[in-house]
């Protein structure tokens, strides 16, 4: 038997004697483990978790589980690193006005939206920063179970560019998001939001209005992006057409929040240009289906629209563009992720590519590669235990048995 981990285990036991409040170690035993998209699976593997971190991972025979460890039998189950959803909104009725909600209510909503689908980290790309920051504090203090939340807070849109589809929502919920009147005002707001805890900035390069699409002037977009980058923060752009993508590319935006199925298909040179600009993409394919159904179309019409969105993702993925899994959940009420995985597969994305979009790619993009995205010694113990192998059928990505964050089970399927 290998004794590679004996020393850290011994040290940890000594440490634990003096710290009775620390949770006991946890071990996931007997799983098929995908440590990362680039590595082969470990058959009959085990993972030992200590103090919220991964202490050891390998074939079960090589992992010594401490006697007092909590053991989760993972025979027949599959384990991957915890998922990221890089396009969500903390805006549902179950999360807005969090000061009026009980911890149980907040946990329950976070479970329905995120943790039961395996998300241990989410990037909220438009919400009310003060409210999102409150939820984040509740999670970090342990009062509420939920994912790690990164947030851009309030988005930036031009004068007259409050999107037509959010106007009544904002009014009903007494949310005021100022329209940008000047570059100086925009820069001031970028600084303020980052000061207040925003992890990124979101611009509306396009706003859908009653009588057409409004595009943000390039110089304004540039000023906002430059200010965010000065603070080391990524910038997301909502786009509705290729003109908006042009503004995003030229201003130095980091992440496109959508494909643009109502505009031209993406040619290879077009997709390669996005890649050359180091642009990432959250596909949000489910969103297009949800939106299309509002108009009561035929199934043939839906299929045509979805195929266009899938083609754009395919072109981007084939050009080696960085895809970040993202569904727009919180704007859409469809929490189930299985449709997104089906469409990502139809766009030609392999199991490895989809797993990367859920784990290593967002971790890399947002600067968390040294602690998130892979199952390896020393990484955060953010893990998803699946009831099925997504390498065989991508829909298994949505069949979550347990979600573990920082070594704590935050979702367990009943
Ligand atoms: Zn969105």
pLDDT digits (tens, 9 = 90+) for 316-348: 999 999 999 999 999 999 999 999 999 999 999
Q: 281 C-alpha vs ligand 1 centroid, how far in Å?
A: 12
**What is the Cα–Cα distance from 65 to 282, expressed in whole angstroms?**
39
Task: Give residue 132 CA to ligand 1 midpoint distance, Å.
Answer: 15
Distance 112 CA to ligand 1 centre (A): 18
**Distance between Cα 201 and ligand 1 center (Å):** 13
Q: What is the pLDDT of residue 285?
A: 97
Crossing angle (nearest 10°) for helices 299-318 and 285-294: 160
The predicted pLDDT at position 13 comes to 41
**In angstroms, what is the span from residue 28 Cα to ligand 1's centroid?**
35
The rounded Å distance from CA 227 to ligand 1 centre is: 22
The Å distance, Cα 18 to ligand 1 centre, comes to 47
pLDDT for position 23 = 62
Distance from Cα 220 to the centre of ligand 1, integer Å: 21
Q: Starting from the edge strand earliest in sequence, which strands make up the sheet with 322-323, in order?
A: 201-204, 235-238, 255-256, 280-281, 322-323
CA torsion angle 368 370 374 378 (round to 10):
-130
pLDDT of residue 257: 98
CA of 126 to the centre of ligand 1 (A): 7
pLDDT of the residue at 6: 44
Report d(CA 201, CA 299) in Å as an integer.
37
- Does the pLDDT value for residue 112 go beyond 90? yes
The per-residue pLDDT of the chain, averaged, comes to 94
Percent of the chain predicted with pLDDT > 90: 93
Does the structure show a pLDDT above 50 at 16?
Answer: no
Lowest mean pLDDT among 13-22, 46-55, 69-78, 380-389: 13-22
Residue 237 near residue 260, CB atoms below 8 Å: no
So what's the pLDDT on residue 321? 98
Q: What is the pLDDT of residue 314?
A: 98
The whole-angstrom separation of Cα 48 and Cα 26 is 6
| Cα 211 to middle of ligand 1, angstroms | 21
Among the ranges given (20-29, 182-191, 320-329, 384-393), the one the predictor scored with the smallest mean pLDDT: 20-29
Quick: pLDDT tens for 36-67: 999 999 999 999 999 999 999 999 999 999 99
Q: Give the burial class of 218: count Cβ atoms within 10 A of its Cβ; 0-12 exposed, 13-18 middle, 19 or more buried.
A: middle
Ligand 1 geometric centre to CA of 268 (Å) = 26
Cα–Cα nearest to 43, from 56, 54, 30, 55: 30
Residues in the chain: 414
Distance 83 CA to ligand 1 centre (A): 18
- CA 124 / ligand 1 centre spacing (Å): 8
Instruction: Tell me what percent of the residues of the chain surpass a pLDDT of 70.
Output: 94
* Cβ–Cβ < 8 Å for 323, 279: no
Least confident of 1-10, 98-107, 131-140: 1-10
- Say whether pLDDT at 380 is over 70: yes
**If you measure from the C-alpha of residue 328 to the centroid of ligand 1, how many angstroms do you get, rounded to a whole number?**
5
pLDDT(109) > 70? yes
> What confidence tens digit (pLDDT) does each residue in 228-286 have?
999 999 999 999 999 999 999 999 999 999 999 999 999 999 999 999 999 999 999 99
Residue pair 81/373 in contact by the 8 Å Cβ criterion: yes
Q: State the average pLDDT over residues 352-359.
A: 98
Q: Stretch 24-31: mean pLDDT, rounded?
A: 95
Tell me the CA–centroid distance for residue 388 and ligand 1, in Å. 29
Instruction: Give the N- to C-terminal CA distance of the chain in Å, as an integer.
Output: 36
- The domains located in the chain, with CATH, are 6-81+374-412 (2.30.40.10), 84-365 (3.20.20.140)
Phi, psi of 350 (to 5 degrees): -80, 170
Which long-range contacts link 96-105 to residues 24+ away (Cβ below 8 Å)? 96/128, 96/131, 96/173, 97/131, 97/173, 98/131, 98/134, 98/135, 98/138, 99/131, 99/134, 103/138, 103/143, 103/144
Longest dimension (CA), the chain: 71
Structure confidence by residue, pLDDT tens digits, 391-408: 999 999 999 999 999 999
- Could you count the other beta carbons within 10 Å of the beta carbon of residue 100? 7
At 145-176, the pLDDT tens digits run 999 999 999 999 999 999 999 999 999 999 99
Residue 22, pLDDT > 80, answer: no
Question: What gap in Å lies between CA 115 and CA 121, rounded to an integer?
Answer: 9
Among 2-11, 79-88, 364-373, the range scoring the smallest mean pLDDT is 2-11
Whole-number Å distance, alpha carbon 376 to ligand 1 midpoint, is 32
Q: pLDDT confidence of 24, banded at 50, 70, 90?
A: confident
């Amino acid at each position: 038997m290998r004794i590679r981990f004996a020393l850290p285990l011994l040290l940890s036991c000594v440490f634990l004697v003096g710290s009775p409040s620390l949770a006991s170690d946890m071990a996931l035993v007997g799983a098929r483990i995908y440590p990362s998209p680039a590595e082969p699976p470990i058959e009959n593997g085990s993972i030992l978790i200590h103090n919220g971190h991964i202490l050891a991972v390998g074939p079960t025979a090589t992992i010594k589980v401490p006697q007092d460890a909590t053991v989760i039998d993972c025979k027949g189950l599959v384990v991957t690193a915890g998922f990221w959803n890089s396009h969500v909104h903390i805006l549902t009725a179950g999360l807005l006005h969090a000061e009026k909600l009980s911890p149980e209510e907040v946990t329950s909503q976070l479970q329905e939206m995120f943790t039961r689908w395996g998300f241990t980290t989410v990037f909220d790309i438009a919400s009310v920063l003060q409210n999102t920051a409150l939820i984040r504090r509740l999670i970090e203090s342990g009062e509420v179970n939920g994912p790690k939340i990164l947030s851009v807070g309030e988005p930036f849109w031009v004068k007259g560019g409050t999107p037509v589809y959010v106007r009544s929502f904002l009014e009903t919920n007494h949310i005021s998001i100022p329209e940008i009147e000047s570059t100086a005002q925009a820069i001031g707001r970028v600084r303020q939001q980052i000061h207040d805890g925003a992890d990124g900035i979101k611009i509306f390069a396009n706003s859908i209005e009653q009588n057409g699409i409004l595009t943000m002037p390039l110089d304004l977009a540039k000023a906002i992006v430059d200010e965010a980058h000065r603070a080391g923060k990524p910038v997301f752009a909502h786009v509705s057409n290729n003109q908006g993508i042009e503004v995003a590319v030229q201003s130095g935006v980091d992440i496109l929040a959508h494909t643009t199925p109502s505009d031209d298909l993406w040619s290879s040179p077009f997709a390669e240009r996005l890649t050359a600009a180091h642009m990432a993409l959250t596909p949000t394919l489910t969103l297009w289906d949800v939106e299309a159904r509002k108009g009561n179309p035929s199934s043939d019409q839906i299929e045509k629209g979805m195929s266009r969105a899938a083609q754009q993702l395919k072109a981007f993925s084939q050009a080696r563009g960085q895809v970040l899994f993202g569904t727009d959940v919180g704007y859409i009420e469809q929490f189930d992720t299985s449709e997104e995985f089906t469409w990502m597969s139809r766009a030609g994305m392999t199991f490895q590519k989809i797993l990367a979009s859920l784990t290593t790619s967002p971790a890399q993009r947002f600067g968390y590669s040294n602690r998130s995205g892979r199952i390896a010694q020393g990484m955060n113990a953010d893990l998803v235990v699946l009831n099925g192998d997504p390498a065989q059928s991508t829909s298994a990505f949505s069949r979550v048995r347990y979600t573990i964050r920082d070594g704590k089970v935050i979702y367990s399927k009943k």
